[in-house]
Structure 1
Amino acid sequence: MPTPIDWSLLQSFLVLAEVGSLSRAAPLLGLSQPSLSRQLAALELRLGQSLFERHSRGLTLTRAGRALLPAARRMREGAQDLALALAAQEQQLAGTVRLTASEIVSAYFLPELLLQLRQQHPEIQIELVASNEVENLLERSADIALRMLRPAQSTLVARKLADWPLGLYAHRRYLERKGMPTRATMAEHDWLGFDHADQLLRGFAAAGFQVEREFFCLRCDQQIVLWEALRAGLGIGVGMQALAARDPDLLRVLPEVEIPPLPLWLTAHRELRDTPRLRLVFDAIANVWGTA
């Protein structure tokens, strides 16, 4: 009888197959890149075949990798079904809730709520996944998610909490140095934007401004870094109005440029809403931000 393959190795294989990059897969798995490389090497040694081809842009599946993928996915589905069945039966309040939210929400909005939750229910531990990647609740990457888009899966409970308005902001020091921007002088100013993500490019285009990546003097996909760069006076950037209101030195510019608000959605797996501690955390978040 063949020796069973360690499920953790197959989990790593699946994430690598789906994201195509060691650097992107490692944080999703909670591993360092060297550890993930060793896991992949161990699995390939166990199977006696290479599962990925390495190239400058990442990883692509070999023929053997493509053959393994359907079976690995079936194993994951079985593990998910088992985990959900066990979790739905758990009625104790004490335990862990895995919550995911964007970096900005995790850093600037959640701490106060989590403090209140901790004071009221110290028996509940929170695992906070601060990530702009959309975690898959069906795969138990998280129990509850705060996201800026509505989930498509029918097996998820989804509640829209609010529409968070956005604006263009600059620090007072920047405006003293460069002056107040107008539509006619936008190109003369320093702008802060994303590196690989294209949301701002699409947003500028929707507002009637066709710009390229080079339009932004500082590009970074870490939203907290961009926000702190804005607060340091490096340039003009997009921010949540509720967050900008906390800093009196941040001034709104170009208010006539309409920016669609960010919808805030709270989601959880339908079965897990019957687990008391998950329901408690879900309702605590909804009570704070549930204005819609």
Structure 2
Amino acid sequence: MKYQEFFSITIEHSYFSGGPADLIVYPEEKTRKLLEKQGFLLKRTGTGIKVLLPMRDNNRVFPVLTADDLFAFHVLPTSGTVREFTDISEIEEDNMILFTNEGLDIGTIELIKSETVKEEVFQNFPALAKIEIKGNQITTDVIGTPPVYKAIFDSKSIKWKYYLLSKSGATDIAVETRGDQLQFNELEIGNNSLDPIITSLRLNFPDTKIAVFESSVAIPLSSKSIKDIKLIQRDSVTQTDSILMKHLPNPSIYDQGIQIIKIK
């Protein structure tokens, strides 16, 4: 028997530069029974799943589905790291993300995001999200192209902060990026600073000049590093810049967005 695509679900996560890693899409038991009843096939892809329907006499025959025909899947992490960089800040503690096509405009492929009660566990890791596709709301475009639904996860964002230590007392320094893709502002450090990191650095490095630069906005975590973050020193006399460091390391969420760097 020949099969043709009915609909597909693609998982996107802004943390990953390529396809999402450590995430699998798994159907609920009721959905597995519905697939069997309708004669559908479930095919896994590199980014999600496809649901295939049988063809009769080389013709694609759409099944008659009602509001009770629900295709439900869980997005399950295969490691504990995915949850650490996924933004769930707007989700209640005992809930998880819910994606659905209910109320989706025709032609729209990004599933509507809300939340639902946590359920399902895979290798001791609770499900990251649930996807519900209402059977009676699966629509094709005017030429019959099957819908490709997208479940999009956002990564956590955090402000980056560089603490720069210099025994030479380097002055007029700045942190710049190629094409000004990011902006870093130097923070004022008073003698009575309440920043515990400043206090600790002053105790451990009493004869060192400290400068602090913070990103103007929170930066999304990403598996792909941001390159060409330069530390430069400006010469007010010659009106030229010299590069002190060609590339400052990207802070991670494990560092709380903080990097402490010694410069000459």
Bin for the TM-score computed over the shorter chain: under 0.3
Structure with a larger share of its residues in strand = 2
Report the structure, 1 or 2, having the larger helix content: 1
- Which has the greater radius of gyration? 2
TM-score by length of 2: 0.25
TM-score with structure 1 length normalisation?
0.23
Higher relative contact order (CA 8 A, sep 6+): 1
